Amino acid sequence: MATLTLIQAVNDALKTAMRTDPNVLVFGEDVGPKGGVFLATDGLTKEFGEKRCFDTPLSEDGIVGAAIGMATNGLKPIAEIQFQDFIFPAFDQIVSEAAKLRYRSGGQYTCPLVIRTPYGGGIRGGLYHSQSGEAYFCHTPGLKVVIPSTPYDAKGLLLASIDDPDPVLFLEPKALYRSVKGEVPEGRYTVDLSTLRTAREGTGVTVFCYGAMVPVCLRAAEQAAAKGIECHVVDLRTLLPLDEEGVIDAAKRTGRVVVVHEAPRFCGFGGEISAILAENCIEWMEAPIVRVTGFDTPFPNTLEHHYMPDDRRVLDAVEHVWNY
């Protein structure tokens, strides 16, 4: 079993899928001979040729629109949007076309399409290369939204997404591309979509997180443990469709909940977790649900380290709900 970074695990998943299914193809801006700006597609054009891994014009709506056409005609396209910040020209194609195809055709057609894109901060990318827009897409029935936080999950979730008959937005936390390593099995395996991962067992405070916030919450949990507070850290992995039963069970486990994401607070995904728990298990709650998030401002450059939640802010929230 190899030890890979998250970006290497993504690359391994793409190669595994393309080797086992000739209908899988990859395209986007600079993904061909260059291998992508983060090298996620490194070596694909060399191994599989330019008909299966190729560059496109700088047109996100064209990339996704072409992918939808391919998906409805027997292919399994994997479209890369170079940064999630650039995905909005394709918003109508994703929300109004790909996500609606099964419903509007009465189940006659599906859209087995994966849209991969790096998201979030952590690399000092500034205003247009650091946004976290997952909540926009989680408001879209018919679409799946998946976010890995470990190399093992990155490969397994991506292969599961490629197998899925419906469109999947696969958001990759660029801050973790090379900062985390883990064991990744060779060959093909999948991680079921819509399942949670327990990143750390605990009975004191439940902490929900995903993407680049998972390592942050694990560090905070270590500091909390030194103060006698054992955190139960849950990696959501798939935001849509969410394992709501798993979320409720994890919250009931402790009766105290902190939700962490780097996207802005207002209308962020943490609000949905809070609402689910308020509707389903308020009688189990021993303290108010606390959100630790980015701020309701455009993403800054020089102040990035203040904007993104860190272990100190998470620890403060954990202590607050513990001592309530």
**Which of 158, 184, 210 marks a domain boundary?**
184
> What CATH number is given to the structural domain containing 68?
3.40.50.970
Nearest-angstrom CA–CA distance, 314 and 258: 8
pLDDT given for residue 256 in this prediction: 98
* Catalytic member of 129, 139, 232, 306: 129
Q: Is residue 130 part of a domain?
A: yes
pLDDT given for residue 127 in this prediction: 87
Task: Quote the number of domains for the chain.
Answer: 2
**Which of 140, 161, 184 marks a domain boundary?**
184
Q: Is residue 123 part of a domain?
A: yes
pLDDT confidence of 301, banded at 50, 70, 90?
Answer: confident
Q: 70-94: string of b/e by CB count within 10 Å (b at 16+)?
A: bbbeebbbbbbbbbbbbbeebbebb
Q: Let me know if 139 is a catalytic residue.
A: no
> What CATH number is given to the structural domain containing 276?
3.40.50.920
Q: Is residue 272 part of a domain?
A: yes
Residues 13, 148 share a domain: yes
DSSP 74-142: T-EEEEEPSSGGG-GGGHHIIIIIITTHHHHTTTS-----EEEEEESSSS---TTS----HHHHHT-TT
**pLDDT tens string 143-160:** 999 999 999 999 999 999
Whether the upstream peptide bond of residue 288 has omega within 30° of 0, thus cis, is: no
**pLDDT tens string 22-76:** 999 999 999 999 999 999 999 999 999 999 999 999 999 999 999 999 999 999 9
pLDDT given for residue 1 in this prediction: 87
Residues 78, 204 share a domain: no
Residues 203, 90 share a domain: no
Share of the chain above pLDDT 90, in %: 97
Residues 169, 82 share a domain: yes
Residues 174, 201 share a domain: no
Residues 178, 215 share a domain: no
Residues 138, 92 share a domain: yes
Residues 145, 12 share a domain: yes
Residues 201, 78 share a domain: no
Residues 164, 27 share a domain: yes
Q: Is residue 191 part of a domain?
A: no
pLDDT given for residue 132 in this prediction: 97
**pLDDT tens string 78-131:** 999 999 999 999 999 999 999 999 999 999 999 999 999 999 998 888 889 999
Q: Is residue 190 part of a domain?
A: no
pLDDT given for residue 62 in this prediction: 97
**pLDDT tens string 5-28:** 999 999 999 999 999 999 999 999
Q: Is residue 192 part of a domain?
A: no
Q: Is residue 202 part of a domain?
A: yes
| Domain extent for 266 | 197-323
pLDDT given for residue 288 in this prediction: 97
**pLDDT tens string 178-222:** 999 999 999 999 999 999 999 999 999 999 999 999 999 999 999
> Span 246-274, mean pLDDT?
98
Q: Is residue 63 part of a domain?
A: yes
